Structure 1
Amino acid sequence: MKLSLSKTLTLLLLLVVQLSLAQEQTISGTVSDASGQPVPGVNIIVKGTTTGTQTDFDGNYTIKSSEGDVLVFSYLGLKTQEIVVGTSNTIDVTMLEDTESLDEVIITAVGIKRKPDEITTAYENLKADEITSANNPDAVQSLAGKVSGLQINTTSAGVTPNTEIILRGVKSITGNNTALVVIDNVISTATILSNLDPEVIESINVLKGPNGAALYGSRGGNGVIVVTTKKGTNEQGQMRIGLTSSVTIEDIAFLPETQDRYGKGYWGEVDAFDQGSWGPEYDGSLQPVGLPYPTQSDFPVSPYEHIEDNILPFFTNGVTFQNTLTISSGDQDGYLTLSANKRRTEGVIPDDEYNKDFFSLNAGKTLGKISVSGIARYTNEKQNTASAYNGNGGGNNVYEQLLQAPGNVIVQDFSSGDNGDHWTAFGDSPYWIIKNSRRNLRQQIIDLSGEVNYQFNDNINSLVRGNVVNSSYDFIDYNNAYTAPYTITGDGRDFQSTLQLQSGNSRRIYVDFLTNFNYQLTEDISLKSLIGFNFTEGKSYLLDTQGDQLTIPGLYTASNISSGIVIQDVRSIERGNAIFANVDLGYKDFLFLNLTARNEWNSRLQSITSDISDISFFYPSVSAAFIPTKAFPEIKSKVLHKMKVSAGYVKVGNIGALNRHDLFDIGGQALGFPYSGLNSFVAPTSTSASNIQPEFVTTYEGNINLEFLNINGSPRITLDASASFYTNDNQILNTSVSNSTGVTQSIINVGETETDAYEIDLGITPIRTDNFRWSANVGYASQKTIVNKVTDQSAQVSIDNFGGPARFAVEGQEFPVILGSAYERDEEGRVVLNQDGSPRVASGTKILGKTTPDYILNFGTELTYKGFTFRATADYRTGHVYYSNVYNDLTLQGRSFITAENGRGNFIFPNSTIIGSGVTNTTVLTGPSYGGPTPYAEYQSFVQSPQFGGVDENFVLDATAFKLREVALSYDVPTRFLEKSFVQALSVGFSGRNLLTILPKENRGYDDPEVGGGIGVFAQNPPTRFYTMNINLTF
């Protein structure tokens, strides 16, 4: 009986399974939009299960389901549809536009969502694929060339280049001009954005105007970069795993062109020891090169002939490996995203390395009327590079030493790493520097955010949001000792070891309390507003120890320093409070008004004599937008689809020029102390006036947005234009004061600048078919800042902290300009000569040009064909200059083209005139003498004389440049090829960055004008380009 019952149950189970299998069927179909075009990437899920798929590039899909199941079709910007499976195996779906979804744009740090029509200031939004298409590991650099009015300036190169973000030009003479960065509704920094893995970014919204200052504080006056990261939202709760892996090869983009006529030597003679290229003309003979190493009697020899790009073999091909793993899930009530990124970089300088580990957790949950969310990010960086400045070689870095190599030197023949094995006795071998002069840096960043939101009803909600960022670092910067084993011409080389140890920590706390109101006051009038309170606190400390003469070579500790110890301990703090309000009124969806107000209290304004009213400042804004094509539909046509105009007034306070309060304001320890049990400190040399106030920037802005030729719901042509006018007065500057006050400078309010900024963006989509789409865009931006006033004591002030030519603010001139030595010229611009024929150097300094471009043009294009996507980005900037230290150095060493153009004898200065009595000249001029020991050496004497080498004007070059920023090609594998695998999506890509740079003829590859901010400082690496291959998998 038991056996019979068992058999019966088995038969029933088999019958149920058979029936289930019989009911399961393969459903296929095509998903298209309202215009009939296929929609790739649509998510299709069997409701209540984890079974799902995506449409391929042609909109086709295949999925297994049973009769009665519900298929859910979802896609961003289109309305989600649910369809019950019947008896048919084919289900075609037409998805309609979800206007509510398309129109939502996050525009503020407090998470306010506004439709594009409601926004009353100029902005530009970048999606994830625009940021990651070229696989740039630095999210800040990936913005270059993509937004009109936005400049990404590189201030230093190498494996970890430093960048700054400038929107609509520089406006403050000595204060902060960089745009504010906001990440997931919390104020952040460009450094943290650079460290953020670009793969976790969902979008970047660039607010060009200062309207966001009421919500962000005074730092928002320079524009805002609003970053939103991915949250893993998935209506069906399906878990997804994403893996992105890439490898990037880096090589030298270009090196300076050099003369190929004269080789190593001095005064026209071959000199084995000198680094100059002032020898005789190349003749191919064997000549001694470098030091007698390893003995003092054997000199290395090589053919006396030019070698093209002879320093190139020193560099290696850099390589970067980067992997990102993302696990995400979510439903209508919550989400979770976990991401891990590992990056390993080897630079083009041998032994230079950079390693970064990045982890992030982003989660949120809604529980009735309460929603909570939190973000945790951790970054760990390690950097090991040759020191930017080699203390033993007179402050020269690797690249500078290489540039001084004469054209006949075979650089790789001196690769032993010993300073005695070098081509010159007057500098350090770059192979020695990379092993003995290095910086080891470690940095950790912990970034924690949390938010609790309570929804009182459909109209009111309140939230509290908090953020804590803790950043700590330490580095060791060392230069090993070196003593030459011999003496050359009586000059020995004996350098002591040096060591710098520095550690620091900074912590920032940011808290928002907000209440939002959202009411439809009447059928035509809407109200969206908020009131809020903000608290910020920042603390930092720095401990720096420097000294020389290490007792034990290779032991890099403070206790091993035996001489010249200097210790600096700096600790600072800042606190700020603010209350603010934002009101948005809308009328019939075609007229919008925005009002903001903010009052801040900040400790940077506080002095010994100040009270609470002295550290308070208030600033308001008002702006409006009007859409004529909605107000008067009859003006719409087949050509004009949409018109929007907006204008605004904003006043913002700026305290970026003021430092945090120094808790130990003693100016640092005096050199040579402690001594005999006594200590000594250097008094601060600057102080703030007791009534210091913020700078105030007043802005007027106007914008117009046009859409033309709307076909199937998408405009073929868009045109956006913006004009803004800034007045920055009450600027915070240093001014000289009497030494009797105990200080030499005082910080006061006095300067004023005016800035005009214009942007025009044109977007076109010439072709859009089922399989092929081509779009392109061109952006134009110009900014011009005029200095109206500097100080009462001076009409100019330097913004650089070094000697020689520098950037200045000069009354009545554009800002900034380069001031330096120049020639005296007549009314026709010709150089005035002295009676002996030598050029006359003008007294004092002259304006040599401005360092900001007249305008910048951005170019972008995108072509898609089935699964292939091609993107390219380029830009062109012109109308500015920069000072080239590289050109100066190459010229003084006899390597630049100009040193060989006229031979090496006497010459007459070109385009010049002698101002005299007008007596007829009967003497044939052959050129003046500059003190060279032979006629052949006269040109070297001239180049190295104050009449040329000491004249800054000679080394100021046109900074015009065209750059092909990015080129990327990717392919999305159709999902039909992945049906039998566990892979849901697969794409592969190839990209290049900085592939082409076109410079003016006078800049023979000396520098990338973009690096250095107009003053081409040393401590740089040569420009590089990048080639990347990547693969993206979704499981």
Structure 2
Amino acid sequence: MRKLLPRVNPHRSVHILFLVLCLLFGTQVLAQSTVQVQGTIIDSTGEPLPGVNVVIKGTAVGTVSDLDGKYTLNVPSDAVLVFSFVGFISQEIPVNNQTVINLTLAEDTSDLDEFVVVGYGLQRKSDLTGAISSIKSEEINRLPVSNVTQSLQGRVSGVQVTSNSGAPGAGTTIRIRGVGTLNNSSPLFVVDGMLLDDIDFLNPNDVESMEVLKDASATAIYGSRGANGVVIVTTKGGSFDTKGKINIDAFTGVQQVAKKIDLVNGRQFAELANELEQNVGNQPIYDVNDYGVGTDWQDQIFRNAPVSSVNLGASGGNANTSYNLSVNYFNQKGVVKESEFERLTLRLNNQYKLGEAVTFGHNFSFIYFNQQNEPGVVGNAYRAYPIFNPRNPDGTFTNTAPVGNPVAQFEYNSNNQTNDYRSVGNFFMDVKFLKDFTFRSNFGLDLSFRDGKNFTPVFFVSPTQQNPENSISVNTGRARNILWENTVNYNKEWDDHRINLLGGVTTQSFYQESLGGGRRNLPGEDPSLWYLNAGELTSQTNSNSAGDWAMLSFLFRANYVYKDKFLVTGTFRRDGSSRFGRENRFGNFPSIALGYRLIEEGFLQNQNFLSNLKIRGSWGIIGNDKIAFYEGRPVVTGNTNAVFGVNEELIYGATLTRLANPFIQWEETITSNLGLEFGFFDDRLTGELDYYYRRTNDILVGVPIPSYVGASNNPIVNAASVENKGIDLSLNWREQKGDFGYNFGIVASTVNNSVLDIGEGNEAIFGGAVGISGLLGSRTIVGESIGHYFGYKTAGVFQNEEQLANTPKRGPERVGDLIFEDTNGDGVVNNNDRVILGSPIPDLIFGFNLGFDYKGFDFGADFNGTVGNEIYNSKKQVRFNTYNFETSFLDRWTGEGTSNEEPRVTNGGHNYEVSDRFIEKGSFLRLRNIQIGYSFPTVALDRFKVQNFRLYLSGTNLFTLTKYSGYTPEIGGGNVLGTGYDSGLYPIARTVNIGISANF
């Protein structure tokens, strides 16, 4: 530098020297305050995010993450890094001299460019005009469950999910916006384009997203199949040009009965049993001093049971092929002994490119189920006397009459196995042509085969619990569901316009058949002999039945968007079903919907308070044909034999046993929906509010006919009408502040169900539990909800003879019995005094969730519940003999003034009529799941070639706040005319799990 200085103009030398000194000083300072930051960026599932922008705030200096989500950048030590990626929430992280900054970016679920799955395609969330709720894989996988539908519980507004049982592998009952028919009210399920009646086979780890379609704008594209709502399931797939990766998800845990029923102990039972005998004029039969606590039969049948799941997946792709392969093994032993469920699932989701225009692929799963069914011990454990021990001193089983010994049932009645083999999936081909057109052909299959075997050995416990001849029964069933759909899609954008047109034709056929047989007196009890041929030929029984039906449909949908502001959707589907006669085979189902995005208006552009505002409305007609295969056809039954002629020969014959009505037609559901979508504070607070009205006309119901006609059924006619109306609300708050993020969400739905018409005469339809006099406990009439409880209202207990003499009676009551109200005031209590006692349909369904994450830690909790529904405790009502007692019997009437609610101890009779004595509040609040996890730093995992590793601890059904005395306030079941009856359900389990999730 000294050699260069003389060349400089002397007049400028001072200035140049000053400049050089400043540069040298500045460089030294910069060197001291600059650090190299590196790290890995992943999404909420642990997958690396390539292409994330990492920029020094306030500058254009930055970099992007590579295919493994890694980045490196030299930055000032006091800089702030901005991480941003399309579809994810941006984050700002102060460097503060850190050299490693790893980050998890959360998906921006409110992003207006996000696409959601709709019927036969995808649509921008901002363009939706229908009521659609979505739940993603990260929410689904948080719940360690066997049935993926349980993931919807308390997470989606307008949807009620109820477990049918706590038994391993048990299904659920799903109601979307109430019950709109007197027939099957289950929704349609669509898995990767395959239309199904259930998704019990699905491995939850395979699910990418679930969309629930609730109004006509969303469901009308499915026509008659969408009357009860639609649940669309999209399974995970690979991506083209993506590095291969392997993921492992596994958990193991222990289950225990969440709640036991309060039953009396041995001494208390003896006291009540003696009192019962005295009340009917007999002498006491037990010396209460001989009994103490006795046997808790619930402890004899329940156990702590393990549950586990292991899932291995691989995905990736090259330029022309993408793949996703997964294998899952799930095993759940029941909290009731001798019950178990295991499932093995293999899934193959692949796509292949043939040039730029043609793509074809498949989404297929192969499933094996094995289920051992407990031998019906729950009811016997509830009723068995606590004064008995399970076994006699010599080791033999105790005679526990009048019910069977539950422990002996495990020994002799547990050889009951069912195996299911099922394959569900589809092949598809997409062809792009004429620039804006896409043709898709989709061929779907659902093939299933079931076999079951039940062997009962020779045994003797008591005269009422014995089997003098061993027996074997075998049953098989097979079903076939074939779908073929061909659609053409036109998609065009220009200037301020966006249009999408869809048209197509679909056909679907169903077939099912069952075959069963049995024999007795096998030569031994070894499993090698458990075949029909080993039994006596003369004891042979058999059965065989089948059914089939088919549909042909034409569909069309148009979506139009103008200036991202005005939205229009029109849908039309024409369905033909073989369940109906030729004259009424086809039905037409249109819908129209409008949307207006006010947030695009100019007066809302320059403000920071409101980030989204859209109103939408829809109207449409949807059909329903969910009656049994054979309801639309006459049925002839064979083996109707008689002896005729002089020689008295046996003549084999057949007769018409089921009449058909060729004039029945589609049920029609007219729905309307008005919705509001909103977002505040840059969509940190988002929500939707919907009002819906749903009316179903021409409901298919059976009409009673005289018995002399000779038919075994009530012919089906179009007669009834039902309406449902209510409000759906969902709110979500989510915010990320540096390393700390938190969220809170709530869903709530009201349901107002009312029957408008039942047909000619408007005669009531009865169902449900049977009272002591044979009266059914559920009634459906015009002006009230479907399947409400109907019986006597109690007004206390008769305290003395004077009150008994001066109070209207049903007869022959005695002092200490229940008083039934004379509701019509005619001075007599009879069937005309029965009134509505409540409804199994809740007034409010709700759920809420909360969570937070900080660096590697995360926490989440989910709650759900109902308000305003009642449960009928029918197991307490059924007493045709002396059984064990619930502890509520201890508060019985024993003399004047002792009780005005619980009557004297009796078996059967007046006190066991259908009445509000057996009605209990069904409202509840349940901690559905709670989970805490930790994701290890990626820097620590790099040496093991692991992209992410998460360890978590979770609890399911840890507590339930309810006044109901049974095992669970969740009472599922498919019969809409008689729901809410607890006759002794398999109890729900409380579960604690530990699990891992890792990607390689």
Q: Same fold (TM over 0.5)?
A: yes
Q: 1:93 to 1:654 in 2, by over 3 A?
A: closer
Identity %, equivalent residues: 19
1:278–1:908 CA distance, 2 compared to 1 (3 A): farther
Matched, 1:242 2:215: no
Distance 1:357 1:345 in 2: 12
The equivalent of 2:28 in structure 1 is none
TM-superposed CA distance for 1:230, in Å, is 1.0
Q: C-alpha displacement at 1:950, in angstroms?
A: 3.8
**Contact 1:262–1:278, Cα closer than 8 Å, also in 2:** no
Shift of 1:92: 12
Q: Could you say which residue in structure 2 is the equivalent of 1:9? A: none
Q: Is 2:223 the counterpart of 1:217?
A: yes
The structural deviation recorded for 1:875 is 1.3
Amino acid paired to 2:380: Q
Match of 2:617 among 635, 647, 672: 647
Distance 1:774 1:540, change over 3 A: same
Partner of 2:358: 370
What pairs up with 1:799-818 in 2 under 5 angstroms? 805-818=776-789
Aligned residue identity for 2:445: V
Aligned to 2:96: none
CA 645–568 in structure 1, closer or farther in 2 if over 3 Å, else same: same
Instruction: After TM superposition, give the deviation of residue 517 of structure 1 in Å.
Output: 0.7
Q: 1:323 to 1:813 in 2, by over 3 A?
A: same
Counterpart of 2:176 in structure 1 is 167
Q: Work out the CA distance in 2 between the residues paired with 1:263 and 1:91.
A: 67
CA positional deviation for 1:458: 2.8
How does 1:8-23 map onto structure 2 within 5 Å? none
In structure 2, distance between residues paired with 1:739 and 1:887: 34
Match of 1:568 in 2: 543
Tell me whether 1:178 sits opposite 2:186 in the alignment.
Answer: yes
- Residue 1023 (structure 1) aligns with: 988
Residues 850 and 862, structure 2, Cα contact 8 Å, conserved in 1: yes
C-alpha deviation, 1:503, in angstroms: 1.0
Contact 1:257–1:1006 (8 Å) recurs in 2: no
Q: Work out the CA distance in 2 between the residues paired with 1:813 and 1:564.
A: 50
Q: Give, in whole Å, the separation in 1 of the partners of 2:45 and 2:889.
A: 63
Local SS of the residue matching 2:167: coil
Q: Does 2:718 correspond to 1:718?
A: no
- Which runs of 5 or more residues in structure 1 are unaligned? 1-25, 64-72, 81-88, 288-303, 388-396, 913-926, 928-937
**Alignment match, 1:326:** 313
* Match among 430, 445, 448 for residue 471 of structure 1: 448
- Structure 2 Cα separation of the partners of residues 107 and 582 of structure 1: 15
Which residue identity is paired with 2:912?
G
Q: Distance in 1 between matches of 2:670 and 2:499?
A: 27
Distance 1:140 1:750, change over 3 A: same
CA offset at residue 821 of structure 1?
5.6
Residue in 1 that maps onto 2:383 = 404
CA distance in 2, matches of 1:600, 1:384: 40
Name structure 2 gaps, 5 residues minimum: 1-34, 53-64, 74-82, 91-98, 798-805, 821-828
**Structure 1 CA distance, aligned partners of 2:670 and 2:643?**
49
Is it true that 1:997 corresponds to 2:987 in the alignment?
Answer: no
**Equivalent in the alignment of 1:70:** none
Distance in 1, Cα, partners of 2:919 & 2:694:
29
The 5 Å alignment of 1:468-617 reads: 468-483=445-460, 499-520=472-493, 522-545=494-517, 555-559=529-533, 560=535, 566-606=541-581, 610=582, 613-617=583-587
Counterpart Cα distance in 2 of 1:39 and 1:163: 27
Counterparts of 1:508 and 1:134, CA distance in 2: 30
- Aligned pairs for 1:281-296 (under 5 A) are 283=289, 287=290
Query: For residues 731 and 93 of structure 1, what CA distance do their matches in structure 2 show?
Result: 55
* Distance in 1 (alpha carbons) for counterparts of 2:257 and 2:380: 17
Asked if residue 690 in structure 1 is aligned to residue 662 in structure 2, the reply is yes
> 2:891 maps to what in 1?
901
1:445 and 2:430 equivalent?
A: no
**Equivalent AA in structure 2 for residue 706 of structure 1:** F
Task: Judge conservation of contact 2:926–2:959 (CA < 8 Å) in 1.
Answer: yes
- Residues 1:958 and 2:921 are matched in the alignment: yes
> SS at 1:432's partner residue?
helix
Q: Displacement of 1:908 after TM fit? A: 6.3
User: Cα distance 1:343–1:94, how it changes in 2: closer, same or farther (>3 A)?
Assistant: closer
1:763 aligns with 2:763: no
Does the aligned pair in 2 maintain the 1:180–1:224 contact within 8 Å?
A: yes
Shift of residue 979, structure 1, vs aligned partner = 1.4
Change beyond 3 A, Cα 1:94–1:1026:
closer
- Provide closer, same or farther for how the CA distance between residues 414 and 770 of structure 1 changes in structure 2, counting only shifts above 3 A: farther
Residues 796-833 of structure 1: CA deviation (Å, up to 9, x unaligned): 2245598764443222211121234665899xxx9855
Q: 1:889 to 1:772 in 2, by over 3 A?
A: farther
Q: Secondary structure at the match of 1:263?
A: helix
- For residues 163 and 553 of structure 2, the distance between their equivalents in structure 1, rounded to whole angstroms, comes to 33
- Paired amino acid for 2:868: G
1:988 deviation in Å?
A: 1.1
Q: Give the match's secondary structure for 1:968.
A: strand
User: What is the Cα deviation at residue 705 of structure 1?
Assistant: 0.8
Alignment of 1:600-999 (within 5 A): 600-606=575-581, 610=582, 613-634=583-604, 637-660=607-630, 665-667=635-637, 669=639, 678=650, 683=655, 685-710=657-682, 715-739=683-707, 741-743=709-711, 745-765=714-734, 768-798=736-766, 805-820=776-791, 832-833=808-809, 837=815, 838-839=817-818, 842-844=829-831, 846-888=835-877, 893-902=883-892, 905-907=894-896, 939-940=904-905, 943-999=906-962
Partner residue in 2 for 1:201: 207
Q: Are the structure 2 counterparts of residues 676 and 199 from structure 1 closer, same or farther at C-alpha, using a change threshold of 3 Å?
A: farther
Separation in structure 2 between the aligned mates of residue 679 and residue 363 of structure 1, nearest angstrom: 59
Residue by residue over 1:619-672, the C-alpha shift from the partner in whole angstroms, topping out at 9 and shown as x without a partner, is: 100001111110344376332221110000010111112425899933364699
Amino acid at match of 1:523: D
- 1:1030 maps to a residue whose letter is G
Please state whether the residue corresponding to 1:736 is helix, strand or coil. Answer: coil
User: Structure 1 length as normaliser, TM-score?
Assistant: 0.79
Q: Deviations over 1:946-1000 (max 9, x none)?
A: 1213444322211111111111112111110011112222111111111111111
Q: Is the 8 A contact 1:277 1:407 kept in 2?
A: no
Aligned pairs, number: 896
Contact 1:266 1:278 in 2 (8 A): no
| Corresponding position: 1:360 with 2:347 | yes
The answer to whether residue 116 in structure 2 is matched with residue 106 in structure 1 is yes
Give, in angstroms, the shift of residue 240 of structure 1: 0.7
The corresponding residue for 1:394 is none
Q: Residue type matched to 2:719 in 1? A: V
1:210 counterpart letter in structure 2:
A
The alignment partner of 2:205 has SS state of helix
Shift, 1:437, TM fit: 1.7
Give the distance between the partners of 2:103 and 2:916, measured in 1 at CA: 69
CA contact (8 A) 1:259 1:896 kept: yes
- Alpha-carbon contact 1:548-1:565 (below 8 Å) kept: yes
In structure 2, the CA distance between the partners of 1:893 and 1:351, relative to structure 1 (3 Å rule), is closer
Aligned residues of 2:617 and 2:674 also touching (Cα < 8 A): yes
Q: Deviations over 1:445-480 (max 9, x none)?
A: 012311111100331111111001111101123444
SS at match of 1:690: coil
The amino acid that maps onto 1:244 is D
SS class of match (1:1004): coil
Q: What do the CA deviations read for 1:146-174 (whole angstroms, capped 9, x no partner)? A: 1111111222331121212211111101x
For 1:526-547, what per-residue CA distance to the aligned partner results, in whole angstroms no more than 9, with x for missing partners?
2111110001111111113356
Q: What residue identity is the alignment partner of 2:491?
A: N
